[in-house]
Amino acid sequence: MADAAPPKRGWSIAHLIASPRFQSSVARIPVLRRLARRDGDALMDLVAGFVHSQILLAVVELQLLHRLMDGPADAPDLAAGTGIDARRIAILCDGAVALGLMRRARRGYRIARRGAALLGVPGLEGMIRHHPVLYRDMADPLALLRGGETELSRFWPYVFGAGAAEDPATAERYSRLMSDSQILVAEETLARIDLSDATEVLDVGGGTGAFLAALGQRHPHPRLHLFDLPAVVAQAEARLAHAGLAGRAHVTAGSFRDDPLPKGADTITLNRVLYDHADETVAALLSAIRAALPPGGRVVVSEPMTGGVSPNRSGNAYFAFYTLAMGTGRARSPDEIAKLLKAAGFEAVRDHGTSRPFVTHVLSARRKD
């Protein structure tokens, strides 16, 4: 077009795409219409994301997916005992259909593959029920980004040291929420790294023993040692005994902030520990781990991680904000954790990757001789 005005300074393809006139034109061009529709759907998902999450929360709280596991049901059946009108339950169920959790059936609704998968992920329902705490902190995202006290930071007082976790109710909330999810973390971690050749594995911050129980059942030779706060010791001992591992397992009460780490292990594991803490705390912990390991000893770090220069959804668009609301830690990329390991005196850092980044990502390193 010879008479077209020259592009403004700083003009880019983004300016063109952002033009309402361009968007209207694209919608009329068959070849580009599908791309525009896909972008529009993705934008709507972003706009409506909170509503989608609340639909999910309502479905989980009412245990509708569990009820549909027994077969199809209509809205009046699903409304029974909920105190909610059947017409409103139908609105909720149609929302769940749109999100892929349910399917329409001749007789109302049936569970969809995605809904069944949700029930098959240990700890996921507990995480969803816990989300209102995070959502209240995210209600004003700018306030969260600017800093200040958050509700989530009060929910997780254990990160401030052993003294803050003496309240039994707080310890029970923490243990119940984390225990089930740690089963999935253990499964993913042990699929990524072979610990069968370890003589003794010390799990620092091991909670109620889910990881060591899975390790002990998978590999018959390593001795098992758990180190965590006094409030979770009894549950850890009970879990390990129930798994038939009492003869191989030992539990030591303590806080890595205040107490020396037990010695004797040639492998030390950190499952969802580092992202709870600030860099200086992580540096001190890794130095303590190096001191506790023999030459050539191994440390394993397993937790959700960000994508670094290539941000990912689970790490950068979820866990980064979750840890921000916690107020003490932060989600890190594999490269950032590798640098912290090297600074603490470890070498041969290896990235074992992940198949489920929303669960965990695994790194290992060796103590320098």
Residue 74: count other Cβ atoms within 10 Å of its Cβ: 16
Please indicate whether residue 7 or residue 14 has the higher confidence score (pLDDT): 14
Q: Is 195 helix (H, G, I), strand (E, B) or coil?
A: coil
331, 320 Cβ separation under 8 angstroms? yes
Q: What is the dihedral of CA 165, 171, 174, 180, to 10 degrees?
A: 140
**Burial grade of 254 (CB within 10 A; 0-12, 13-18, 19 or more):** middle
The rounded distance, in Å, linking the Cα atoms of 271 and 266 is 16
Per the prediction, the chain carries an average pLDDT of: 88
- Residue 294 tokens, joined: 């023999």
Interval 121-146: pLDDT, tens:
877 888 898 889 899 999 999 999 99
Q: Of 363, 349, 338, which Cα lies nearest the Cα of 271?
A: 363
- pTM for the model stands at 0.83
Interval 184-234: pLDDT, tens:
899 999 999 999 999 999 999 998 899 999 999 999 999 999 999 988 889
Is the confidence at residue 288, as pLDDT, over 80?
yes
Pairing of strands 249-253, 267-271: unpaired
Place of tokens 């969803």: 128
Residue 290 φ then ψ, to 5°? -60, -45
Our measurement of the distance from residue 289's CA atom to the centroid of its chain's CA atoms, rounded to an integer in Å, reads 24
Place of tokens 């020259």: 6
Give the model's pLDDT for residue 193: 96
Mean pLDDT of 277-282: 95
Is the confidence at residue 49, as pLDDT, over 60?
yes
Please indicate whether residue 11 or residue 237 has the higher confidence score (pLDDT): 237
Angle at 131 between CA 139 and CA 357, to 5 degrees: 110
Please indicate whether residue 327 or residue 220 has the higher confidence score (pLDDT): 220
Q: Residues of the chain with pLDDT > 70: what percent?
A: 83
The rounded distance, in Å, linking the Cα atoms of 360 and 114 is 20
257, 318 Cβ separation under 8 angstroms? no
Give the model's pLDDT for residue 24: 63
Q: Residues of the chain with pLDDT > 90: what percent?
A: 67
Place of tokens 């200086």: 280
Give the model's pLDDT for residue 157: 61
Interval 147-193: pLDDT, tens:
988 988 877 665 444 444 445 555 565 556 667 778 889 999 999 99
Give the model's pLDDT for residue 171: 53
Give the model's pLDDT for residue 27: 61
The amino acid that residue 289 corresponds to is I
Is the confidence at residue 263, as pLDDT, over 60?
yes
Interval 354-366: pLDDT, tens:
988 888 999 999 9
Mean pLDDT of 270-278: 94
Q: Of 225, 139, 127, which Cα lies nearest the Cα of 179?
A: 127
Q: Of 193, 238, 180, 241, which Cα lies nearest the Cα of 216?
A: 241
Give the model's pLDDT for residue 45: 84
Q: Of 156, 151, 163, 126, which Cα lies nearest the Cα of 259?
A: 163
